[in-house]
Amino acid sequence: MNKLVSVITPTYNCGAYIEDTIKSVIDQTYANWEMIIVDDMSTDNTEEIVKKYAASDNRIKYYKLEHNSGAAVARTKAMEIAKGNYMAFLDSDDLWISNKLEKQLKFMEKNNINFSCTSYEQIDEKNNKLGKVIKCIPKTNYNRLLLDCPVGNSTVVYNVDSMGKFKVPDIRKRNDDALWLQMLKKEQYIYGLNEILMEYRIRNNSISSNKFSLVKYHWKLYREIEHLGVLRSSFHVAYWGFLKVFKIK
């Protein structure tokens, strides 16, 4: 198997981390990839760093949006440009283990799987491991994903030849959850490979680190994008809040 994998990486002001992210793709044991980095009008040195790598490796492609539009728009733009048989998602501050693509693609090919994720662990801003592993579950369907999204964004790979392309719902936060929900309307399950193949960075100043600031985005996801009823949407917001308060996984 030597199919092309498109690595989808939206970015915004990640100059402190994106070099390590790019290196983790360059170091992959599976070499037939293209990395599409779409910059949402960064104001730091992100562009300089990415262009340095793009100049020396033609598999790395850099695009900059004309206006700051949010991660959903940047991710959709990258997906439109992508030419791969598979798409893999990697946020611009996360890291892949070196054999991530090789292992995950073999898992998918062997088991005739179109949509998959893996387990991952947390690291801090200096790449130190935090001792917390998030294990994937064997398979997740639409209703299960609604509960607490047991899927790490930077672990996901899907088969474009089988499933086609998708537009990311235009929501500033939780747009990865929204995308998986769209895809699970076409593919019944996302299957989990229970191996740690990604490192998820916890940043002290990130919006996602403040879980309760995300409540309005969860409500928007359930009501405006998925068009769930008021009672069902309220249940899911309350359930999510309960998990975060008591730190239940």
Q: How far apart are CA 124 and CA 249, in angstroms?
A: 20
pLDDT in tens, 127-137: 999 999 999 99
Q: Name the residue type at position 188.
A: Q
Contacts of 175 (CB under 8 A, 6+ apart): 70, 71, 72, 75, 168, 169
DSSP-H helix ranges across 27-138: 46-56, 71-81, 100-110
User: Ramachandran region of residue 14, left (φ > 0), alpha (ψ -120 to 50) or beta?
Assistant: alpha
The residue type found at 52 is K
Taking only the tens place, the pLDDT of each residue in 101-138 is 999 999 999 999 999 999 999 999 999 999 999 999 99
Is residue 182 within 8 Å of residue 169, measured between CB atoms?
yes
- For residue 38, what is the enclosing H or E element? strand 33-39
The answer to whether 40 and 68 have CB atoms below 8 angstroms apart is yes
pLDDT band for 209, please (50, 70, 90 cuts). very low
pLDDT at 212 over 60: no
Question: 164-173: per-residue pLDDT in tens?
Answer: 999 988 776 7
- Residue ranges and CATH numbers for the domains of the chain are 5-203 (3.90.550.10), 210-249 (no CATH)
Which amino acid, one-letter code, is at 158? Y
pTM of the model: 0.89
Residue range 48-77, pLDDT digits in tens: 999 999 999 999 999 999 999 899 899 999
Query: What pLDDT was estimated at residue 242?
Result: 61
Q: What backbone torsions phi and psi does residue 37 show, to the nearest 5 degrees? A: -105, 115
- Cβ atoms of residues 97 and 199 within 8 Å: yes
Q: What percent of the chain has pLDDT over 70?
A: 85
195 vs 246 pLDDT, higher one: 195
